[in-house]
Amino acid sequence: MKTTLQRSSRRLLPRAMQRHDIMTSCCKSLTTSSFHNDHHQQQQQYPLSTVVVGRSFHSSSFAAAYQEAAYNNDDDNELQTSSSYPPFPYESSYNPTKPDPDYPSLGPTTKLNLFQSINTALQLALSTDPTTIVFGEDVAFGGVFRTSQNLRSEFGAHRVFNTPLSENGIAGMAIGYASMGGTAIGEIQFADYIFPAMDQIVNEMAKFRYRSGNQWSCGGVTLRAPCGAVGHGGLYHSQSPEAYLCHTPGLVVVMPRGPRCAKGLLLSSVRCKDPVIFLEPKILYRSAVEEVPDADYEIPLGKAEIMQHGTDVTIVGWGAQLRRLQVATDLASKEGISCELIDLRTLLPWDSDTIIRSVKKTGKLIVSHEAPITCGFGAEIAATLQQECFFHLEAPIQRVAGYDTPFPLVSEKYYLPDETKNLDAIRKVMELAK
């Protein structure tokens, strides 16, 4: 009887668990060798032909450029907003240090940029949970964006280590490790390359608990991925894939707008009992700087934040788009238009109640995001609000988003839904409501 049950269980266990030993062996082989700053030596030890699935690292000149910058940087422990990385091209009156109800009495703060805030959250996750591991392509030396810097030296090569260049393998290993009770924080080096892992994410990770009738869980998985425009990323290093992921029941999808909320949201994600995809707007890694509480704090998932209260129009966004929207609302205020600005923060599950209450007050809604407009997540918000607030709407819901084209390189500034396009949408709804 026992043998029959064991065989039955093995047939039901997803492929991710069956591959767990293989991936662990691969990752251990990468971490047992001493780490050298000369990354080419490690690449020679593990030929690309044996580890690459679907793409070659050397085809990614953008990633290589960031790696080179990271290796040549001797001041990574200092606050970085240097011209080596593109500054965020928008200024606003939004003061990130003002009192915020989501951060009550958290004590001392430290000025951090986004990558430092992420690094602090990872350090807390590793120090408070001995089962936590951090892994991915090049995370051992700190990653191309330095979000995991110094973690290997502090917590050891058995807890912070490199993996082969296989996003599918990273996701599969995370599922297998979490299914055995551990906390897995995997890094997809760029969100554009999360697509090779979609089989594991959609068909295994998201369905793990459901398919077993809540007998098994891989809720200890958090996959981090830098996303969005960066000024020079082009087609393969600028995409925002949140809509693909939000179409998958069983996942939690999160995107912070800055360092302070990133730390609290990441700690909540790591400790969440559901698998989380944590998307990080990479243009903000060094350009967004805020006072971040030193304490270990969490921001509830699934709860939007009203950044700015207003009475005339509701504007909803997430991630780096909030910086552009803040500029647009500042300009609108000079024209006598009062805007209520909402940061969704968690895209799945999203906080529809907060937006519904706001739209019933203002009678107008604008949703703005970087991703292409067709089937973008803004369409889901617009459809829901049309259904729930139809008799309160004074003007058609507006969506301001990227165009339905591949992300352009030289035309990026024309592609992005900047503050001017959003200001035009604000003026439009106000005119239509007359």
Catalytic positions are 167, 237
Among left, alpha and beta (phi > 0; psi -120 to 50; other), residue 355 is alpha
| Rounded-to-integer distance, Cα 401 and Cα 394, Å | 22
- The arrangement of strands across the sheet holding 160-162 comes to 160-162, 132-136, 183-187, 221-227, 276-281, 252-254, 346-348
Find tokens 């087609």 and name the residue: 235
Task: Locate 331 and state its tokens.
Answer: 């300009």
What residues contact 88, with CB distance under 8 A and at least 6 apart? 283, 284, 287, 288, 320, 323
Tokens found for residue 121? 């959250």
* Residue entry with tokens 């604000």: 426
Q: What are the structure tokens assigned to 413, written together?
A: 């500034």
Helix (H) or strand (E) holding 63: helix 61-71
H helix intervals, 239-348: 242-246, 259-271, 284-287, 321-333
- Joined together, the tokens standing for residue 377 give 């997540």
- The three-state secondary structure class of 428 is helix
Q: In degrees rounded to 5, what are phi and psi of residue 430?
A: -65, -40
Place of tokens 């997430």: 318
Contact at 8 Å (CB) between 309 and 361?
Answer: no
Q: Under DSSP, is residue 200 helix (H, G, I), strand (E, B) or coil?
A: helix
Cα–Cα dist 162/164, whole Å: 7
Who's near 90: CB < 8 A, 6+ residues apart?
323, 324, 326, 327, 418, 419
